[in-house]
């Protein structure tokens, strides 16, 4: 698979509250021909409820490396997204320091946020709490905070079946940045997008 349109250096973030569905969707898109960069050092399950300065700093470094990559990339997380997710829990002085770190960095071309219900996210994190409803408020708060993301942002409903979700993301990316050769993912054929 080849990227047909020249999008050299474009970095597009695909993310969501508590990373739900993001890695799977990115792997599917990678099979279609997109260059993907997954985060292999996500906070452990028990540490996702709180802001970690070390992880934020790692995301900043990885973002700088991504900006040096000549390929167009789909990226699983960004320091802006991470800070937004935890904004209500970060002390003002820490938040100001983080914003100073982010100020000189190039923003993503755009960010796609997978939005879903707090209950759905709770179902996927049953080992944290006794019922999905116990986790729901945290997930919904993350989605609310992600509304504050500073770059161009598109929200996509992540509750449909995986095939439909991947088709939606593929369509959005094809219209906005990428053109990809004909491919097949999970039995769904996509034709070649024609350049305008």
CATH number at 11-190: 3.40.50.300
Torsion sign across C-alpha atoms 145, 153, 185, 66: negative
> Pick from 73, 157, 85: which is nearest to 110 by CA?
73
> Which of the pair, 74 or 142, is modelled with greater confidence?
74
The SS3 assignment for 155 reads strand
> Which of the pair, 59 or 25, is modelled with greater confidence?
59
Task: Give the percent of the chain with pLDDT over 70.
Answer: 72
Return d(Cα 153, Cα 159) in angstroms, integer: 18
For position 148, what pLDDT does the model report?
A: 77
Return d(Cα 18, Cα 121) in angstroms, integer: 8
For position 196, what pLDDT does the model report?
A: 32
For the chain, helix (H) and strand (E) counts, in that order, are: 7, 7
Mean of the pLDDT values across residues 46-66?
88
The answer to whether 108 touches 73, Cβ cutoff 8 Å, is no
At 181, the pLDDT band (50, 70, 90 cuts) reads very low
Mean of the pLDDT values across residues 79-90?
87
55, 73, 87, 185 from 40: Cα distances, Å: 11, 16, 23, 24
> Which of the pair, 174 or 134, is modelled with greater confidence?
174
- Report the greatest alpha carbon distance in the chain: 52
Flag the least confident range among 19-23, 34-38, 99-103, 118-122. 118-122
Q: What is the pLDDT of residues 105-159, one digit of tens each?
A: 999 988 888 887 766 666 666 666 677 676 677 777 777 788 778 878 888 887 7
137: exposed, middle or buried (Cβ count in 10 Å: 0-12, 13-18, 19+): exposed
> Which of the pair, 148 or 97, is modelled with greater confidence?
97
> Pick from 20, 188, 42: which is nearest to 113 by CA?
20
At 28, the pLDDT band (50, 70, 90 cuts) reads confident
For position 188, what pLDDT does the model report?
A: 43
């Amino acid at each position: 698979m080849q990227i047909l349109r020249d999008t050299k250096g474009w970095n597009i973030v695909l993310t969501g509250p508590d990373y739900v569905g993001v890695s799977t969707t990115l792997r599917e898109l990678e099979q279609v021909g997109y260059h993907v960069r997954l985060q292999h050092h996500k906070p452990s399950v028990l540490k996702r409820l709180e802001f970690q300065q070390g992880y934020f700093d790692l995301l900043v470094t990885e973002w700088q490396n991504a900006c040096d990559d000549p390929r167009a990339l789909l990226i699983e997380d960004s320091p802006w997204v991470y800070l937004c997710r935890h904004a209500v829990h970060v002390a003002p002085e820490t938040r100001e320091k983080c914003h100073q770190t982010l100020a000189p960095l190039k923003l993503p071309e755009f960010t796609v946020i997978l939005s879903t219900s707090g209950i759905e996210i709770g179902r996927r994190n049953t080992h944290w709490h006794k019922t999905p409803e116990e986790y729901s408020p945290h997930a919904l708060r993350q989605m609310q905070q992600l509304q504050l993301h500073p770059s161009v942002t598109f929200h996509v409903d992540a509750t449909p079946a995986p095939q439909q979700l991947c088709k939606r993301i593929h369509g959005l990316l094809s219209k906005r940045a990428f053109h990809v050769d004909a491919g097949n993912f999970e039995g769904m054929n996509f034709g070649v997008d024609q350049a305008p």
